[in-house]
Amino acid sequence: MIESTTDLITAIVLAGGESTRMGKDKALLTLDNETLLSRICLVGQEVATSVYVVSPWIEKYQSILPPGCLKVKEELVLNAKSNAPTIGFAQGLEKVQTEWVLLLACDLTHLSSSQVKQWSRALTTVLPTTMAFLPRNAKGWEALCGFYRRNCLASLNAYINNGGRSFQGWLANHQVAELKLRDRTCLFNCNTPTDWQSATNKIKNASQSDRYTS
């Protein structure tokens, strides 16, 4: 009998995007005096025994990472300015020893540790033949907010070596279980200044509501 799902989980946080649509580094944006990157690392620490942060420019994030977070210097391929997320994930997976990996983007502003803990408890129901446990939307899988088995690395590397870059293309050839959500706002991520304004307004309104009801 499994005593704790945290014994089976490592978290990988990807912080390798160029933030071109945002116009500034998303990982360094702050909410309640915490950067988005540090916030999502703390969420990962609540459910995982280890948290790895993967980025080509990991040095500039060292001072903001919560204590205990492990750094993975992502190696760029094909002389690119940044890699596809699949490549960063594969390089992070090389470090993992646990059965399950929680993969998170660094800009999930509304994701909470309580939600992730609830999801992790459902891992014991996932069939052994299932490679990933992910939320789904109308366009496909929510690849950067969910769980993968560590043994998917060989398949992912083969896909990348054959020129594949898309998570959707890779996942289409494997068995994936759907992580069903009651509230999908936790999947909101910030790509543009408009997204960021929406996120900050929502969090400010929630904080004001808490003060009025307390």
Task: Give the pLDDT band (50/70/90) at residue 2.
Answer: very low
Give the three-state DSSP class for 177: strand
Q: Is residue 123 part of a domain?
A: yes
- Please classify residue 100 by burial: count the beta carbons closer than 10 Å to its beta carbon, then call 0-12 exposed, 13-18 middle and 19+ buried: buried
Give this prediction's pTM: 0.89
The CATH number of whichever domain residue 197 belongs to comes to 3.90.550.10
Strands (E), the chain: 9-14, 30-31, 34-35, 50-55, 70-73, 100-105, 132-134, 136-137, 140-141, 145-149, 176-178
- Give CA separation, 210 vs 198, 201, 213, in Å: 18, 14, 5
Q: Which residue has the tokens 């992580």?
A: 179
Q: Is residue 142 part of a domain?
A: yes
Q: Structural domain tally of the chain?
A: 1
Q: Is residue 203 part of a domain?
A: yes
Q: Is residue 1 part of a domain?
A: no
- The pLDDT tens digits of the residues spanning 115-164 come to 999 999 999 999 999 999 999 998 999 999 999 999 999 999 999 999 99
State the residue range of the domain holding 69. Answer: 7-213
- Distance between CA 69 and CA 58 in Å, rounded? 12
Q: Which amino acid is at 185?
A: T
Q: Is residue 122 part of a domain?
A: yes
Give the three-state DSSP class for 140: strand
Q: Is residue 104 part of a domain?
A: yes
Q: Which amino acid is at 65?
A: L
Q: Is residue 14 part of a domain?
A: yes
